[in-house]
Structure 1
Amino acid sequence: MPTRTAAQRRTEAKREYDAYLAECPARQLLDRIADKWVSLTVTALADGPKRYSDLHRRLAGVSQKMLTQTLRHLERDGLVTRTVTPAVPVRVDYALTPLGRSLLPVMRAIKGWAEDHMAEVWEARVAYDARG
């Protein structure tokens, strides 16, 4: 096995997580965080822990199945914690982890961009559709 320099090892490590490469595991993560329910769930948790029912009310249009799936994926990826408090009925709270909080500025920016530029996108869509 040939000896590699530290620079060569860093280059190889960077190549391992190049999302442009088909086999890159970062693609799975990129696919996950690009999901609309993920971005909305992460931003909904920005102000602190929320109960499932609060999230479901906040995220208009999300099905129970999709919200449950989204929260499980976020928990598995280390972005959200799930805390169960014994009570009648049982209380379950979801909160962002430090890793999840590090994603928050990006998600807020994307959400804000979509809200700020929707009128321009609508105009572009209408113009495109009018062409044929």
Structure 2
Amino acid sequence: MAAADEPDAFETIVMAEARFHCEGYQEGYVEGMHAGTIEGRLYGIQQGAKISLEVGLYLGFSMMWLRLLQKHSDDKHGKKVKVLESLIEMIQKFPYQDPTYDRLQEDLEKIRGRFKQVCSLLHVSSDFRLSQEETALSF
């Protein structure tokens, strides 16, 4: 006869499947959380790099045009210079170091809109490609 403290051998066999199922679920959950964290970080790095490349392109473009227009300054370039300075200011205020910035997409859309406005004023195409297949930028 079995003692009251010992588990019943039959119950242990019957409950083994449920116990292994729970243990496997817990191990899988922990492993999935770890893999998801790594994948999320890599995706965030890639997206951050794309945004930085895009905003950096806008800044370089704007600074170059600003210098060109300031060299040949006259009254007809006044509006172009103001819009370029506005775009540069927006880019400089962009919060690169804050990954939790809640208005990142809104501010990025404003910068894109201002860039298109600059391109329109300068009579330059705003069509460009930032992909690995097409390394050249076309303006």
TM-score, normalized by length of structure 1? 0.31
More helix by share: 2
More strand by share: 1
TM-score, normalized by length of structure 2? 0.29
Rg (Cα) greater in structure: 2
Bigger relative contact order (CA 8 A; separation at least 6): 1
